[in-house]
Amino acid sequence: MSKLSERVRVELRDLAPYKPGKPIEEVQRELGLERIVKLASNEYPENAFPEVVEALQKEILELNRYPDATWHELLDAATSVYPITRGEILFGNGGNEILELLVHLMCGPGDEVVYAHPSFPIYGLLARSHFDTGVSVPLDSDQKHDLQAMLDAITERTRLIFICNPNNPTGTWVTETEFVAFMEKVPEDVLVVLDEAYVEFVTDPRFPRFFELRTRFANLASMRSFSKVYSLAALRIGYLLGSEEVVGLLQRVRQPFNANRLAQRAATVALQHQDRVAERREANSRGLDQLRSGLHDLGCATLPSQTNFLLTRPPEPVDDLFDRLLRQGAIVRPMGSFGLGEGSFRVNTGTAEENRIFLDGLGRVLRGED
């Protein structure tokens, strides 16, 4: 280790960097394949709404100008879609930045942030780099959040709890009844953040209704993203819905231009097309049905999911499954780095054709015909 590396904060020295899903271009280059379907990063399979793309073509002529640090137009759009005031929403450079700002706001040395495992790996990464404040609680035997165990994990040092609902990478979810019983027992000085990155895909009526619950629990907030149903992953924009108090506190720690000009424009226009969100929710349900029945026909088990992905496991462990699927032209997400063992993998809904390409390729691999 160099002298410089020895000066790095002790809790950061052996932190492993986040492993993202492979970009399509990289796989194509490596394997010389023509057609590749990427079902590995829970992206929506089509580009952003056409109205968004059109608006961006104009916005791109003003790249020399800083973005609006006060998000004026974006707040107009958000407050007409959601039952909130302008002071109850905070935008960020992706939902990921929102999560980071929350840890930054709440956690100093000796404090604790509670989250589930396996869940979104960013919580652990952020907590470790903020004075090693992470406390992870295993999912229950149904791969759902174990809310009782999470309550038991709360101590005087707990400042923040992340509940990824529905959970990435399992797709499982907690119901409103379960969640309310949990919230009733969480101390009011502990901030509970629902990570609702997939909320637009949810169809189960028992899912927690954030806008009703927030009036009951002042210590509740919801993180959301434009990266999934809105197809804006490349632009990096997400937000937090919360009380004026929490949003006001976060305003102090954010960078003035944390939501860039193109992202703000795109998000503003995207919000104005909720009809398209509803269409995509239905298309996604059909995609899940197609994937689920195709996987079951191949003998693969799946977990219930309210997201745009399934966690699945082949009937028997398959050597080099991920690489063999790659050679069949399908990128999925192996679950080793999520702590779910090497046997299972996560696959998200593509177009009907992409889903078929993936299922055909998986079938060939499982039958040893690859």
Ligand X SMILES: *Cc1c(COP(=O)(O)O)cnc(C)c1O
Q: Which of 45, 67, 94, 287 binds ligand X (CB under 6 A)?
A: 94
Smallest distance, ligand X to C-beta of residue 54, A: 23
Smallest distance, ligand X to C-beta of residue 367, A: 32
Smallest distance, ligand X to C-beta of residue 136, A: 15
In 3D space, the residue among 361, 354, 326 whose CA is nearest the CA of residue 29 turns out to be: 326
Which residues partner with 193 through β-bridges?
162, 221
Smallest distance, ligand X to C-beta of residue 164, A: 5
Residue 53's CB: how many other CB atoms inside 10 A?
A: 13
Q: Could you give the CA distance from residue 205 to residue 211 in angstroms, rounded to a whole number?
A: 14
Pick 133 or 225: Cβ nearer ligand X: 225
Q: Are 146 and 116 in contact (CB under 8 A)?
A: yes
In 3D space, the residue among 45, 99, 51 whose CA is nearest the CA of residue 274 turns out to be: 51
Q: Could you give the CA distance from residue 50 to residue 269 in angstroms, rounded to a whole number?
A: 10
305: helix, strand or coil? coil
Q: Could you give the CA distance from residue 347 to residue 337 in angstroms, rounded to a whole number?
A: 15
Pick 144 or 324: Cβ nearer ligand X: 144
Which residues partner with 113 through β-bridges?
134, 160
Smallest distance, ligand X to C-beta of residue 35, A: 25
Smallest distance, ligand X to C-beta of residue 53, A: 19
Site string for ligand X, 39-68 (x = CB under 6 A): ---x--------------------------
Q: By CB under 6 A, which span of 225-233, 254-262, 328-336, 346-354 interacts with ligand X?
A: 225-233
Q: Which residue is nearest to ligand X (CB)?
A: 94
Q: By CB under 6 A, which span of 12-20, 90-98, 178-186, 281-289 interacts with ligand X?
A: 90-98
Site string for ligand X, 108-137 (x = CB under 6 A): ------------x-----------------
Q: Could you give the CA distance from residue 9 to residue 360 in angstroms, rounded to a whole number?
A: 48
Residues 150-209 that bind ligand X (CB under 6 A): 164, 168, 195, 197
313: helix, strand or coil? strand
Pick 94 or 118: Cβ nearer ligand X: 94
Q: Are 347 and 310 in contact (CB under 8 A)?
A: yes
Q: Which ranges of the chain would DSSP assign to H, the alpha helix?
A: 3-7, 24-31, 50-59, 72-81, 95-106, 121-129, 147-152, 176-183, 210-213, 244-253, 261-271, 274-297, 321-327, 352-366
Q: By CB under 6 A, which span of 94-102, 151-159, 173-181, 323-331 interacts with ligand X?
A: 94-102
Contact call for residue 305 and ligand X (CB under 6 A): no
- Eight-class DSSP state of 36: -
Q: Which of 48, 49, 52, 96 binds ligand X (CB under 6 A)?
A: 96
Residue type, 127: A
- Eight-class DSSP state of 230: T
Q: Which of 227, 305, 312, 344 binds ligand X (CB under 6 A)?
A: 227
Q: Could you give the CA distance from residue 318 to residue 362 in angstroms, rounded to a whole number?
A: 11
Q: By CB under 6 A, which span of 58-66, 76-84, 89-97, 323-331 interacts with ligand X?
A: 89-97
Q: What are phi and psi of 309, to 5 degrees?
A: -145, 165
- How long, in residues, is the chain? 370
Q: Which of 165, 225, 264, 355 binds ligand X (CB under 6 A)?
A: 225
Q: By CB under 6 A, which span of 136-144, 220-228, 265-273, 332-340 interacts with ligand X?
A: 220-228
Q: By CB under 6 A, which span of 51-59, 128-136, 223-231, 282-290 interacts with ligand X?
A: 223-231
Pick 111 or 195: Cβ nearer ligand X: 195
Pick 96 or 231: Cβ nearer ligand X: 96
Smallest distance, ligand X to C-beta of residue 258, A: 12
Judged by the rule CB under 6 A, the positions of this chain that interact with ligand X are 42, 94-96, 120, 164, 168, 195, 197, 225, 227-228, 233, 238
